[in-house]
Amino acid sequence: MPGWLPSAAMLAKELRREGFRSKQGTLIDKGYLYRVLRNRVYRGEAVHKGKAYPGEHEAIVTDKVWDQVDAILQGNRHERSSNSRMQTPAPLKGLIFTDTGAAMTPTATKKRGKLYRYYVSMDVIKNRTTEDDSGGDQAPPRLPAGMVEDAIVTEVRRILQTPEVVTQVLAALKRDQVSEAEAIAALHDFNTLWAQLFPLEQARIIQLLVRRVTVTAAGLEVDIRREGVAGVIREMIAPRDMEAAE
């Protein structure tokens, strides 16, 4: 392996080429590497509700090495943030529909240098008339993208902590020898994980977790892919598994 690789993407590619895998047997990707490289446990700290505190264990990474890695990650973050502004993902693309069945497609407009994103019904884009012309309540044909995406994330967080979903996740992860405590902690740490993800990574998580969003006059109806939850949680606890293997 080369002695210096300037990005997690390149390192992940090299590790995959050489056949390295996680403890679960999955190929290592850049998201996995970012979570490992940000894991403050390695510098002797404990993290609770997003805040780091001095831990009782010995650090295995020096402050100098941590700061060097952090500087590289911050540089990559700035570059990727610039790219994401130019190519802002639409995480609900292909997932969001009106209650009449019309797809809502992502659109964007720029005013005074600011980008405004929306999801717009194809009925509006193609000037199609809907069956309900009676003046009754209808689903809004146009929604601000940020507002609806935030609402979906809030609903996903709520669903992930319902007893039914927790039970299903625990059963699915038991086959991977993941402890109940680890799985429950990961479910409750979803907020922390989400805040650390780049926009493209957030879009990927939404695509894994959401089957369909239906826009009605009363609000949003979210259909979650229950079978996708365990996979997302498995990725969230990967750094903890590596710590245990040290």
Type and span of the H or E element at 69: helix 63-86
pLDDT at 235: 66
Looking at per-residue pLDDT, the higher value among 192 and 135 belongs to: 192
* 109 and 65 within one domain: no
* 149 and 32 within one domain: no
DSSP-assigned letters across all residues of 125-190: HTTPPPS--SS-----SEEEHHHHHHHHHHHHHHHHTSHHHHHHHHHHHHTTT--HHHHHHHHHTH
* 209 and 121 within one domain: yes
Tens digit of each residue's pLDDT (9 = 90 or more) over 53-77: 888 888 888 888 888 777 776 665 5
Q: What is the CATH number for 24? A: 3.90.1750.20
Tens digit of each residue's pLDDT (9 = 90 or more) over 10-56: 777 788 778 888 777 777 777 777 777 777 888 888 877 667 788 88
C-alpha 144/C-alpha 92 separation (Å) is 12
Structural domain contains residue 3: no
Tell me which of 61, 86, 111 is where a domain ends.
86
* 114 and 55 within one domain: no
pLDDT at 236: 61
* 219 and 164 within one domain: yes
Which of 212, 206, 201 shows the shortest CA–CA distance to 228? 206
* 44 and 114 within one domain: no
Please give the average per-residue pLDDT across 190-200, as a whole number.
75
Backbone angles phi, psi at 98, to 5 degrees: -80, 170
Comparing 79-93, 150-164, 170-184, which segment has the lowest mean pLDDT?
Answer: 79-93
Tell me which of 33, 63, 86 is where a domain ends.
86
36 C-beta neighbours (distance < 10 Å), count:
16
What is the SS3 assignment for 22? coil
Range of the domain at 28: 8-86
Structural domain contains residue 27: yes
* 125 and 72 within one domain: no
Structural domain contains residue 1: no
Tell me which of 52, 86, 120 is where a domain ends.
86
pLDDT at 99 over 80: yes
* 168 and 107 within one domain: yes
pLDDT at 97: 96
pLDDT at 152: 92
Q: What is the mean pLDDT of the chain?
A: 77
C-alpha 191/C-alpha 149 separation (Å) is 15
Structural domain contains residue 156: yes
Structural domain contains residue 214: yes
pLDDT at 239: 43
* 169 and 239 within one domain: yes
* 65 and 106 within one domain: no
* 103 and 57 within one domain: no
pLDDT confidence tier of residue 135, bands split at 50, 70 and 90? low
pTM of the model: 0.59
Most confident of 32-41, 66-75, 110-119, 173-182: 110-119
Tens digit of each residue's pLDDT (9 = 90 or more) over 200-225: 878 888 888 899 999 999 999 999 88
185 C-beta neighbours (distance < 10 Å), count:
14
pLDDT confidence tier of residue 243, bands split at 50, 70 and 90? very low
Structural domain contains residue 21: yes
The fraction of the chain above a pLDDT of 90, given in percent, is: 20
* 202 and 160 within one domain: yes
Could you give the number of structural domains in the chain? 2
C-alpha 185/C-alpha 40 separation (Å) is 16
pLDDT at 8: 67
